[in-house]
Each structure stands twice: as structure tokens, then as C-alpha cells.
């Protein structure tokens, strides 16, 4: 898919192998993943998509317990939606990651504790 240079909005539903950023068009601005059941944290790879503005991880798109957003990841991200990630117990956002984030929506992530936002 990297050769699809004009594709800016992508919705993928169903099981996939763990996603690599170089498998996706670098021009993506909106990405939704649903029922993908990734076992490895997708944030490292997805965080390399320089133009991504909205990321929606829905309905068991990730079945692991921890997610980490590294420094300098998601430089253009404005909206992050995490819905029905029932196994997720920890979300770490390192300083310098998602510095343009304006909207964070977390729904039905029953094992993810809320510890406050700095």
C-alpha cells in the first residue's frame, strides 16, 4: 500500500498481522483499525506516520496489555480514540509525543486506570 500516494483516509476492519509503518501510505491523515487483534503494541510503528492527524483504535484492534507512545511519535496527531480495548491496562505517553493532541477519547477500556493528565 505505500505506493498509494493520494490515499489520506483508511479504515481497516478484521484480523491482520502486526502493522508496520512502511506498509501504509506515508500520506495518511486518518486511520481507523477495528477488530485487528494485534498482539504487539502498534504505537511504535504507527507513530512514525508523520502526517497522521486522527488515529482510532476500536473494538479489539489491540489485544495486548500495554501501549507506549515514544518521544517524537505522532508529530501531527490531533485526535486519538481508544474504544473497547478490553485488555489494555497501561498507556504511557512519553514527553514529546503527540504534542499537537487536542482530543483524547477513551471508551470501554475497563482495565485501563485513570491516573490523571498532566
pLDDT at 95 over 80: yes
pLDDT at 43 over 60: yes
pTM of the model: 0.91
pLDDT at 2 over 80: no
Q: Return the SS3 of 74.
A: coil
**pLDDT value for 12:** 92
Amino acid at each position: 500500500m505505500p505506493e498509494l500516494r493520494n490515499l489520506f483516509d483508511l479504515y481497516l476492519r478484521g484480523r491482520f498481522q502486526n502493522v508496520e509503518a512502511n506498509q501504509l501510505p506515508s500520506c495518511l491523515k486518518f486511520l481507523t483499525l477495528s477488530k485487528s487483534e494485534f498482539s504487539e503494541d502498534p504505537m511504535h510503528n504507527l507513530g512514525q506516520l508523520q502526517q497522521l492527524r486522527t488515529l482510532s483504535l476500536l473494538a479489539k484492534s489491540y489485544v495486548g496489555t500495554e501501549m507506549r507512545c515514544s518521544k517524537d511519535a505522532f508529530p501531527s496527531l490531533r485526535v486519538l480514540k481508544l474504544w473497547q480495548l478490553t485488555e489494555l491496562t497501561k498507556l504511557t505517553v512519553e514527553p514529546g509525543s503527540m504534542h499537537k493532541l487536542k482530543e483524547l477519547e477513551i471508551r470501554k477500556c475497563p482495565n485501563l486506570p485513570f491516573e490523571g493528565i498532566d
